[in-house]
Amino acid sequence: MNRTACSFRHPLPASPRWPLLALGLAAGLGLELALTPGFAAAGDALQVTNASVPASDEIGINLPLLMTIKNDAAEADALLRVRCPFANFSEKHTVDRGEGAPAKREIKSIPIPQGKTIELKPDGYHVMLLQTRQKLVPGEAFTCTIVFQKAGTKETEVQISRTP
Query: Which helix (DSSP H) or strand (DSSP E) does residue 25 occupy?
Result: helix 18-35
Its CATH class, for the domain covering 51-161, is: mainly beta
In the three-class reduction of DSSP (H, G, I as helix; E, B as strand; rest coil), residue 82 is classed as strand
pLDDT digits (tens, 9 = 90+) for 100-120: 677 788 899 999 999 999 999
Nearest to 154 by CA among 73, 81, 87, 86: 81
Nearest to 90 by CA among 15, 52, 144, 156: 144
pLDDT band of 97, cuts 50, 70, 90: confident
| CA–CA gap between residue 157 and residue 142 (Å, rounded) | 6
- What is the pLDDT at residue 43? 54
Q: Is the pTM of this model over 0.85?
A: no
Domain edges within the chain: 51-161
Task: Choose between 8 and 80: higher pLDDT.
Answer: 80
pLDDT digits (tens, 9 = 90+) for 131-158: 999 999 999 999 999 999 999 999 999 9
